[in-house]
Amino acid sequence: MVTQMSAGSMSHLIGQIYDAAHQQTSLASAMGSLARLFSASRACLLRMGPAEHGFDAVASADDVDDFRRLDPDALRNDGLLRAMQSLPVGRIAARDELIDEHTFRRSELWDGFFRRREMEIGWTCKLRSSGGTGWFLDLQRSGRQGRLDGAELGLLREILPHFERATRISEQLDNGTGMADGLLQRALGLILVDADRRILRMNSTASALLERSDAPLQAVASEIVAVNPGDDRILGRLIGQCCAGGTDRAPRAGGAMLVMPDLSEQPSPPLILSVSPSVGVHPFGLGPAQRAVIAIHETGPAHRADCEARLRTLFGLTAIEAKIAAELAAGLTLKQAAEKNGAADGTARTHLREILRKTNTRHQGQLIALVSAVQPLSLK
């Protein structure tokens, strides 16, 4: 018989189920609570897919590795597991409804796993199925514990929808995390901030950039700040626009900006920032969370010679024009670029006018953005 369960302990079990959807290490605890509730020898959540995906499981007992050591070919051809795959979604079936018990007890699955764990009577439910993969909840008892009675089967039916929903939530979170992690591994610097500029998450590229003392963008008390006060005001305005949406209005589109470093003998390259709303975040359906994503592109080319060659090929710049354009993109002023290349100030201004004409840009800021766009990101 099912053990006496209070409303509080039932709530605790359901809470564990949904905790496991977000933190999969909690699933074993939920399986343990389920096994105790039904006086079961073992409770298990099993995912079974096509041959190339195989099996995965979390159980109330720490024995899943023993299951994985069984012969994969024997498991794929096992009569019980094949019958489980053919179960309709939502149906609870006793093991002896799926396979003749005498036949099962001659199988490798019985001899190598079930027999030594007092898994003599069992029930399985297919929670859901997608793309040839099935999710199953499995309960096993010893002969002494007996079969599930009507009350126990009724309680199990109440619990099963929570497991089914939790598997869907977990899969959706995994898909979202996988996409986010893919973006976060890109060379582009990415920072997620809230309306107060607090840094919520960033990738390794952004973290490395903010750690540089000469970078024009800094993390101050866990908030994102532009070193130049004028740039900082623009950054604050763009973040505010992205986070201005509520349940009754959409956020504005944000925008792009060029963040300039403090001038020094060896200046840090300028940064191009693209600030946009973080879409699709609606905690508990209470309206969109107020967050913004800052994408950072460093304008300094990783390989100066490659940069100059590319500028000459794409825009027909002369060698000296390509050098000056590359120096400007790396953060030098026109005067510094002229001195570095042994050109007079007037000559450098003439070169700049030609560069702007050939690249169809109107001013130095547009030129820097263009040079950055056609070069790989600098990963200093």
CATH number of 359's domain: 1.10.10.10
User: What's residue 101's pLDDT?
Assistant: 92
Based on the domain organization, do 215 and 358 belong to the same domain? no
Q: Going edge to edge, which strands form the sheet with 133-141?
A: 55-59, 42-48, 133-141, 121-130, 92-94
Q: 276 with 357, same domain?
A: no
| Cα–Cα distance for residue pair 261/38, rounded to 1 Å | 66
Examine the fold and report which residue of 157, 179, 201 is the final residue of a domain before the chain moves on.
179
* pTM for this prediction: 0.52
Interatomic CA distance for residues 116 and 113, integer angstroms: 6
CATH of the domain at 96: 3.30.450.80
How many domains does the chain divide into? 3
Does residue 91 sit in the same domain as residue 158? yes
In a domain, 25, yes or no: yes
- Residue finishing a domain among 151, 179, 207: 179
Confidence check: pLDDT of 73 > 50: yes
Buried b / exposed e across 309-344, counting CB within 10 Å, b at 16+? ebbbeebebeebbbbbbbbbbbbbebebbbeeeebe
**Residue 193 and residue 234 share a domain:** yes
Task: Name residue 207's beta-bridge partners.
Answer: none
- Contact in structure between 81 and 48 (CB atoms under 8 Å): yes
Q: Are residues 77 and 142 in the same domain?
A: yes
Whether residue 273 lies inside any domain: the answer is: yes
Contact 164, 128 (CB under 8 A): yes
269 in a domain, yes or no? yes
Residue 185 confidence class, pLDDT cut points 50, 70, 90: low
Shared-domain flag, residues 17 and 162: yes
Q: Residue 83's pLDDT is what?
A: 92
**Enclosing domain of residue 243:** 185-298
**Taking Cα atoms as reference points, which of 64, 99, 60 lies closest to residue 79?**
99
Please, are residues 345 and 335 in contact by the beta-carbon 8 Å criterion? yes
**pLDDT (tens digit, 9 = 90+) per residue, 46-68?**
988 765 446 788 888 888 788 87
Q: Which of 298, 331, 361 is the last residue of a domain?
A: 298
Please list, in sequence order, all residues whose beta carbon lies within 8 angstroms of the beta carbon of residue 145, skipping any fewer than 6 positions away: 39, 40, 41, 121
Question: pLDDT value at position 236?
Answer: 93
Residue 1 in any domain: the answer is no
Q: What is the pLDDT of residue 247?
A: 43
The reply to whether 31 and 122 lie within a common domain is yes
Residue 312 forms part of a structural domain: yes
Would residue 146 count as lying in a domain?
yes
Mean of pLDDT over the chain: 81
Residues 195 and 228 in one domain: yes
Query: Which position has the token pair 């793309």?
Result: 131
- Give pLDDT tens digits for 369-380: 787 666 554 434
Query: Is there a domain that residue 278 lies in?
Result: yes
The pLDDT-based confidence of 212 (bands split at 50, 70, 90) is: confident
Q: What order of strands is seen across the sheet that includes strand 199-202?
A: 199-202, 189-194, 291-298, 271-277, 255-259
pLDDT tens column, 271-315: 878 888 876 544 444 445 578 889 887 765 555 667 788 888 889
More confident residue, 161 or 248: 161
The reported pLDDT for the residue numbered 305 is: 67
